[in-house]
Amino acid sequence: MTQPTPAPAVSPSTVTTVDGLITAVLAGEHGPLPSALVATSVFWIHHGTRLAGGDTTYLNQYVLVRLGGSFGGCAFEAGEIDPSVCRDSSGTPLDALLREAPRPLRIAALDAYLSEIRPHRVAAAADTAEAVTLPAGTPEVRAKARDAAIAGLLDIGQGAVVGLIGVVNPLVAAIRARGGEPLPCDFNLKATQWGDPVTDDMHAVLDRAEAVVATGMTLSNGSFDTILERCRSRGIPLIVYAQSGSAVARAFLGSGVTAVSAEPFPFSQFSAEETTLYRYRTAGGA
């Protein structure tokens, strides 16, 4: 695969927190004023997955926002948002969602906005992102390919401790295949498929890790800013694998995030056909 031209660094003084990014977007600093835009459709999706050979059933909830030709998405914890959000929020001015909605819906709206003003496919055409085609096939085939693409953003030595914040078993295996030693952290799992203990103490992971791979779900639960600041202060790579907020995570490249695997909707688990994710790297790589 052709390596992308590194994405331009974003000044840390410009974007350092998610709320700061939302404020800048509301002020029109990134494109059209959100007050002039409307969220045509809001979706609520709930699904479960158990991969062959595993003993974990992943339960995922997503809220999605349609803006023009783009979708924004964000996962959320059970009970945070109910299906009535589709009736209540579809057709709402985008600025109202960015200001007043529950946090996952705010992230989805922000993601839709940033995806619309700079679609991932346009970044790939400009060689600032690398388009990676996930093969058609079973959930196991597609998950393995996706997580190998994510782990491929790691540039680590043999035995490097890699904090994994947000655990999926194929990604644990992919990090090991790259020579890393995963240090998994998740609020909903106690052990990996192979019996590795999973901690719920993110701070202990951030203190030990030589590199961090974090899910876009951290945007939803509010831990992203902490992870970003800690990796920045320690000078360690932060790779974000993002279905949630793929364009939001991209906005922090060069401001604490060193690489992003961006997977816009429709996500890989919703199709058995070929789909595309987009890999971004900063000039320093991951």
pLDDT at residue number 9: 38
Written as tens digits, the pLDDT of the chain (286 aa) is 344 444 443 433 367 899 999 999 999 999 999 999 999 999 999 988 887 777 777 788 999 999 999 999 999 998 899 999 999 999 999 999 999 999 999 999 999 999 999 999 999 999 999 999 999 999 889 989 999 999 999 999 999 999 999 998 889 999 999 999 999 999 888 899 899 999 999 999 999 999 999 999 999 999 999 999 999 999 999 999 999 999 999 999 999 999 999 999 999 989 999 999 999 999 655 4
pLDDT at residue number 189: 86
Q: Which of 219, 226, 207, 221 is nearest to 260 (CA)?
A: 219
| CB within 8 Å of 13: residues ≥ 6 apart | none
pLDDT at residue number 5: 43
pLDDT at residue number 11: 39
pLDDT at residue number 14: 67
Number of other CB atoms surrounding residue 13 within 10 Å: 7
CA distance 224 to 228: 6
Q: Tell me how far the alpha carbon of residue 16 is from its chain's centroid.
A: 17
CA distance 184 to 205: 8
Q: Characterize 194-223 residue by residue with b for buried, 16 or more Cβ atoms within 10 angstroms of its Cβ, and e for exposed.
A: eebebeeebeebbeebbbbbbbbbbbbbeb
Half-sphere CA count of 208, side-chain side, radius 13 A: 17
pLDDT at residue number 284: 53
